[in-house]
Amino acid sequence: MAEEVILDLEELRQLQNIAKRPRVLNLINSEICNLEKLRESASVSSAKPEVEVAVPAPVSSSVKPVSPAVNYVTLGTFSWDQDNDKVKMYISLEGVDQDKVQAEFKSMSLDIKIHDVQGKNYRCGIPKLHQEIVPEKCKVLVKPKRIVITMFKSLRGNWIDIHHKEDKIKPSFEKEKDPMAGIMDLMKNMYEGGDEEMKKTIAKAWTDARSGKTGDPLKGL
């Protein structure tokens, strides 16, 4: 690199002697100045003793492999019973290890995951229970041929279903309307929009209806 700088300087000095325009001379002088600084810095760095640079030892980083997604077989069939304090679910499944059962109880839901049963994983869940439970008191017990899930009710009483059911029976707060009221409203509208003869007929029917002479006030209209 030092030799290239020296050759460039020599050629620029030759151009300096030839050039006559001020702008060209300024450009050549500036480049000569830059190259002289570069030559000086190169000579200083070459005079410095070599310093051994310590190369850091490679650090072995243990990267944990990404666990593959777990596939589950849904257990949609189960039985259940209850008393005033608790609800019990029964799942028929053999070969289950208690340590490989993962249970998640929430106030209105449960999610049971059962791993490694003859090479398969199973899952049973209820996203919305009929009523609230007490999660910290709930438990799962594995028996030889079935799994028993015990959930304690937040409020004592009977559940009509284990799943949440909307109450479709809503009380009606409207008073029962008098069937004659609608007829009277209709006659009033007809009276206001009718001609003189219509008004006379409606007035008579209206009077008769009020006096109880006819059961149908619209008869004869």
The confidence score (pLDDT) of residue 126 equals 94
pLDDT tens digit at each of 221 positions of the chain: 667 767 776 777 777 777 777 887 788 778 878 877 877 777 766 655 555 666 676 665 556 666 678 899 999 899 999 999 999 999 999 999 999 999 999 999 999 999 999 999 999 999 999 999 999 999 999 999 999 999 999 999 999 999 998 754 444 444 455 556 666 677 677 767 667 777 777 777 767 766 665 555 555 55
Coil vs helix vs strand at 10: helix
Cross-strand partners of 73: 122
Residues 6+ apart with CB under 8 A from 66: none
Q: Kindly tell me the number of DSSP H helices and DSSP E strands found in the chain.
A: 4, 8
Rounded to 5, what percent of the chain is helix, strand, coil?
35, 25, 40
The confidence score (pLDDT) of residue 209 equals 64
Q: How far apart are CA 157 and CA 84, in angstroms?
A: 5
Q: How far apart are CA 95 and CA 189, in angstroms?
A: 78
The confidence score (pLDDT) of residue 174 equals 47
Q: Which of 210, 165, 206 is nearest to 219 (CA)?
A: 206
In the numeric block, which tokens belong to residue 204? 């008579």
The confidence score (pLDDT) of residue 211 equals 65
